[in-house]
């Protein structure tokens, strides 16, 4: 059983959360660009 979770059912709270997540998603960079910059080439090792 999952413990410690809080269920929010207030429409205003959930609407703000959805809006914030959508804004973060819209401003995110493409994963491949981040990976190449921070980790290296996306090519598999030989």
What local confidence, expressed as pLDDT, does residue 1 receive?
Answer: 66
What local confidence, expressed as pLDDT, does residue 36 receive?
Answer: 85
Q: What is the mean pLDDT of residues 22-41?
A: 89
3-state helix, strand and coil shares in percent for the chain, rounded to the nearest 5: 55, 0, 45
Q: Identify the residue with better confidence: 16 or 38.
A: 16
What local confidence, expressed as pLDDT, does residue 44 receive?
Answer: 66
Any idea what DSSP says for residue 43?
Answer: S
- Cα separation, 31 vs 45, in Å, equals 19
């Amino acid at each position: 059983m999952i413990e410690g979770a809080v269920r929010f059912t207030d429409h205003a709270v959930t609407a703000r959360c959805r809006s914030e997540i959508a804004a973060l998603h819209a401003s995110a960079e493409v994963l491949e660009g981040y990976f190449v910059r921070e980790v290296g080439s996306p090519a598999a090792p030989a």
